[in-house]
Structure 1
Amino acid sequence: MSAGVELSHRAMAMLRAVAARRAVMSCSCEPDLFIDGFACCDQMTAHALARSGYIRPAELATVGGRVAAELTEAGQAALKITAVA
């Protein structure tokens, strides 16, 4: 995922869950996403959202620890664009 690439419906659902403060993520080079306490079914998309700068940990933690996930400015912009459409 990079600039100019359309996000899938699943990726957008993940962003909405993060925005609703229902998600936590592990702190690692490939962070896993957990929504409502359950591991996200598509960790490849979760990794891509983090790598592409749409989501990030809300705070620092030790490697492997879990913290709240938050949207970056890019993640917020992606949600605003689709809300208008």
Structure 2
Amino acid sequence: MSTHPNALSRRAIAMLKAIAEGRAELRCSCEPDLRVDGLSCCDQNTAHDLAHAGLVRAAVVTAPGRWAPAELTEAGHRALAGFPAAAA
């Protein structure tokens, strides 16, 4: 996955926004799964791509298979910077 903002799908942008808003968790593993608002994300392949691209990570170290709050990396913040905030 390219980290250039134009290369991100709308779904990837929505995932990054949810993470930035503190609404997401990652399951710590080599293929980290994502859930938003307590619900499993419908596109785990994109969640895996975001993690492998270095855009998101677990905010705390936890045992493999456990859920941890998700956070954007510096690269994730830069990738999301070109997109407007979600409407309230």
Q: TM-score with structure 1 length normalisation?
A: 0.93
After the TM superposition, which of the residue ranges 71-80 and 3-12 deviates more from structure 2? 3-12
Say if 2:81 is the partner of 1:80: yes
- When the two chains are superposed, the root-mean-square deviation of aligned CA atoms in Å is 1.1
Match of 2:63 in 1: 62
Matches of 1:82 and 1:26, distance apart in 2:
26
Matches of 1:13 and 1:75, distance apart in 2:
12
In structure 1, runs of 5+ residues without a counterpart are none
Identity %: 53
Alpha-carbon deviations, 1:11-34, whole Å to 9, x = none?
000000000000001000000000
Matches of 1:45 and 1:74, distance apart in 2:
16
* Structure 1 residues 78 and 48, CA gap change in structure 2 (3 angstroms): same
Number of corresponding residues: 83
Q: TM-score with structure 2 length normalisation?
A: 0.90
Q: What's the secondary structure of 1:24's corresponding residue? A: strand
What's the offset of the Cα at 1:79? 1.2
What's the offset of the Cα at 1:82? 2.2
In structure 2, runs of 5+ residues without a counterpart are none
Q: Which runs of 4+ in 1 moved over 2 A?
A: 2-5
